[in-house]
Amino acid sequence: MTDQKDETLRRIRAEWEEEEKAADRLDYDEIGGATYLTVNRPSLLRLQARSYEAGYQAGIEAMRERIDDIVQAICELPDRTSPDDDPGALIVTVQELRRVLDDRLDALKAVDRG
């Protein structure tokens, strides 16, 4: 998935650079500490939208991976058995779930800092 995402972003970036050469005006806006490129040409606006969409999709995919990690961690909690009538059930207390989620958030923070 990462290779496909990288290729999509490379293609969008190349198209952006071509269109940028013809842009009448480019503005950089800073909102909430992030810098956004704004343009006044419809073709660049379409590329900007595609860029945001690619980033959004990458974020969704990353979130799905995190959810899989959380489910796996819950499945690996010690001394667990599912009810006989519902073998796919995950039985977890609120405290255990909170601990798993906190551990995963701490791991994400460590990656962001690294």
Dihedral, CA of residue 25, residue 31, residue 36 and residue 41, to nearest 10: -40
Q: How many domains does the chain have?
A: 1
Task: Tell me the C-alpha distance between 37 and 51, whole Å.
Answer: 11
Question: What range defines the domain where residue 107 resides?
Answer: 2-113
Tell me the percentage of the chain whose pLDDT exceeds 70.
Answer: 68
Cβ–Cβ < 8 Å for 39, 45: yes
- Has this prediction a pTM greater than 0.75? no
Read off the pLDDT of residues 36-53 as tens digits, 9 standing for 90 and up: 666 556 666 676 777 777
Q: How many CA atoms lie within 13 A of 44 on its CB side?
A: 17
- pLDDT number for residue 99: 92
